[in-house]
Amino acid sequence: MNRLEQALAYVSQRKSLWFKTLLTGIALYLLWQIALFTLLVLSAENRPFLLRAVLQTLEIILVLILVKRIVRAGPTAPEIFERRYLAATWVLFGLWLCVMVPMGFEIRDPYLYGTANFDPYQHLVIPMITGFRGYLFAVWLMCGIATLVLYGVKKRWADVDEVLLPLVCHLIFTGILILVRLGPDRTKTAMIGWNQAVFFLIGAVAFGIIISPAVRERLMNFADRYPYILLIITIALIGGTFFFGTALSGGRKLWYRVGPLTIQPIEISKILFVYVVAAFLEKKAYTFQKSRRLSSLISLGVMCLSLFLVLLLQKDLGPIMVLVIVCLWMFVSVSGRIDLLATALLAIGTVIGLAFWFKQPSMVYHRIMDFVDPLQYSSQMTYALWTQASGDLWGTALGMSRAYKVPVIESDYIFTAILAEKGWIGAAVVLTVFWAFSIRGIQLARFLVKGHSRDATFMMGVVMVLFVQQVVIVAGNLNMLPLSGLTLPFVSAGGSSLVVNLGVLALMLGLVARHTRPAQITETGQVKSIPMPIAAANPTRVEPEFEPSVRDDEMVLGGRAFRAGSAVKPGGHA
């Protein structure tokens, strides 16, 4: 008999009172320690961290469910999945906003929570809304209304995808959450979260207007007929800021002021320019693959330089970097000329080296030096790096960091605020959503390649614009690239950026709806749904049991099989 069995036998044989008393005392002590630990975990000081862990875990689960939906379709009907996911994301956003944010502020700085810094919230001209918590509830309710508008118009006019809208709403909710958290602090930007929620609602209305078939067809027909007029409009929008523009905080004139609003034209100019390049590449695609292509290359170079020179005069280098990368990628994807890409990269590297050597423009030199040695040349980057380090793995919990000390934290350094408040796990969730959005956008663009190369190239171009912006701003915040002054799409503060990006989403869905028709239509004109096991966004993969009903040029979008071809007519017949 081993020692354990001997000990158990000894315990069972002991009947003395002192031994029973000792066991009872040990049990009571353990129960007391468990109670103390429970009270400590649930105490007012630790409650935000416990709630943060729970909400962060729920957010991770939601994102993983959505990523799985992109990889392969699930058993849930698409319309039910999208509706349920949007509702769950909105409720989770409400818990973050209305519970976590005030709890973090109360724990971190109770004096600040009740001082005059919150006066703007006490005097909001909103019916039946008073106080900080009422303000948070109003923001949450407005975001819900905007989400409902997006879902309603999308289901009516472009029900061809089930994951893009949830991905975008997740990013917008994250941005508004961080901006609201930055508001009631010493930055005096108390209304920045409210403003972003208002622009979210405006963007939802713009989304509905653009995605409607009548407006969408007029816009696309005009762009198809007069692509180079769009180039003139693009240059005029940016160049007009020299004469009619306004500068914010004494900086460069990059905005137009329209009443109380300021509009940044570069946001829409990037999208227009991408369409112009896509139209040119479609027209010259065969020419670029021939030996005599010098004239076409010169035309493309002149077209790009005409815009880049205007941006260079404005010293707005971030959009130049994004558009150069996107244009090179579009050119290579259409022409397949890797040798020309290498030549272009060599020329770009030479230009950057000369600009750094001669310090002209000076902004290039200063941005590179800030990147090389931020401790000496950039106090802004130094503050950002220290703030990121404070976030650790799970973050400090919303309202408990010192992110507000970083200059321009609501725009250029918004990813730093995410790292500080939600940690590396929260930042990884945001990056996963961005990558999922890019992958889904490319899948939709691949669907349009057959017979609609211009629209496919344009969609890939706008997806790459958003993706490159995300990579550049994240790498800039982490000091892996020189900071470029760009905004994080759907997340950073900025009404122009948010409204234009929602318009881009409407164009993406509208283009797919424009060139698809249901694979099966009943005699009454109703679409016959195809079961979900068909691979989503994969025109070549079809499950064997559905081969008779779905052809190789079809694709499942929004749970239905679609074929690249003519759009659905109002009666439901192709």
Residue 526 confidence (pLDDT): 39
Whole-prediction pTM: 0.82
Output the pLDDT for position 91: 95
Instruction: Dump pLDDT digits (tens) for 266-316.
Output: 999 999 999 999 988 888 766 666 655 677 788 888 888 888 888 888 888
8 Å CB contact between 530 and 560: yes
3-state secondary structure of 274: helix
- The predicted-structure confidence for 72-111, as pLDDT tens digits, reads as follows 655 555 668 889 999 999 999 999 998 888 887 777 666 6
Amino acid at 342: A
Closest by Cα among 137, 126, 67 to 95: 137
pLDDT in tens, 525-563: 333 333 332 333 433 333 333 333 344 444 545 444 444
Residue 158 has pLDDT above 70, yes or no: yes
Q: Is a pLDDT exceeding 50 seen at residue 573? A: no
Q: Is residue 126 exposed (0-12), middle (13-18) or buried (19+ Cβ within 10 Å)?
A: middle
Q: What is the pLDDT of residues 486-509, one digit of tens each?
A: 889 999 988 889 999 999 999 999
How far is Cα 390 from Cα 420, in angstroms, rounded to an integer? 6
* CA nearest to 67, candidates 90, 85, 87, 93: 85
Closest C-alpha to 503, from 472, 468, 462: 462
Percent of the chain with pLDDT strictly greater than 70: 75
Chain centroid to Cα 121, Å, comes to 28
Task: Give residues with Cβ within 8 angstroms of 227, minimum separation 6.
Answer: 275, 276, 279, 280
Match 């009740």 to its residue by tokens: 114
Rounded mean pLDDT of 366-385?
83
Q: Per-residue pLDDT averaged across 243-262, rounded? A: 78
Q: Show the DSSP H helices in 246-284 as ranges.
A: 266-283
pLDDT of residue 502: 95
Q: What is the pLDDT of residue 144?
A: 95
User: Which amino acid, 232?
Assistant: I
Distances (CA, A) of 432 to 56, 122, 322, 417, 524: 14, 38, 21, 17, 42
pLDDT, tens digit, 9 for 90 and up, residues 41-73: 666 667 777 888 888 889 999 998 888 888 765
DSSP letter, residue 451: T
- Asked if the model's pLDDT at residue 485 lies above 60, the reply is yes
Number of Cα atoms under 13 Å in the Cβ half of residue 108? 21
Q: Please tell me whether the peptide bond between 361 and the residue prior to it is cis, using omega within 30 degrees of 0.
A: yes
Which pLDDT band holds residue 148 (cuts at 50, 70, 90)?
very high
Q: CA 383 to CA 403: how far, in whole Å?
A: 9
Please tell me the predicted confidence (pLDDT) of residue 19: 63
Closest to 120 (Cα-Cα) out of 26, 188, 177, 172: 188
**Is 187 a residue whose pLDDT tops 50?**
no
Rounded to 5°, angle at Cα 453 from 517 and 506? 60
* 507, 210 Cβ separation under 8 angstroms: yes
Q: Report helix, strand or coil for 218.
A: helix
Q: What is the mean pLDDT of residues 111-131?
A: 53
Q: What is the 8-class DSSP label of residue 257?
A: E
Average pLDDT, the chain: 77
